[in-house]
Homo-oligomer: A and B are copies of this chain.
């Protein structure tokens, strides 16, 4: 449970940056090299590598090097963990609204 909380901490922190989100958006459409990830971003390759490290530490992204090319991809299971946390809150909110509706109907 502690690990789960720590994972969520790292994932949400990784997503709290527009450049890192744009890297995840790109990877959602297919795996990409670091160079391809960097192309639309106006920042140095070391800066992109730094963001990549944050994404990798969070588990959201993994990468593997073949020859000189490092290919990055999303880890779908990690993304689902973050999505699930929010989805449960939304389900709770819907249940709240349902209870309110029932209350108003019966009052």
Q: Which of these, B9, B12, B89, contacts A74 with CB under 8 Å?
A: B89
Bound CA–CA A24/B25 (angstroms) = 26
Q: Looking at the complex, which of A33-41, A44-52, A64-72, A77-85 is the stretch in contact with chain B? A: A77-85
CB–CB B89/A80 < 8 A: no
How many copies are assembled? 2
Cβ contacts under 8 Å, A92 to chain B: 25, 28-29
Q: What is the bound-complex CA distance between A8 and B83, given in angstroms?
A: 14
Contact in complex: B79, A29 (CB < 8 Å): no
Give A80 to B96 CA distance when docked, in angstroms. Answer: 16
Residues on B with beta carbons closer than 8 Å to the beta carbon of A11:
16
B16 contacts A16, CB within 8 Å? yes
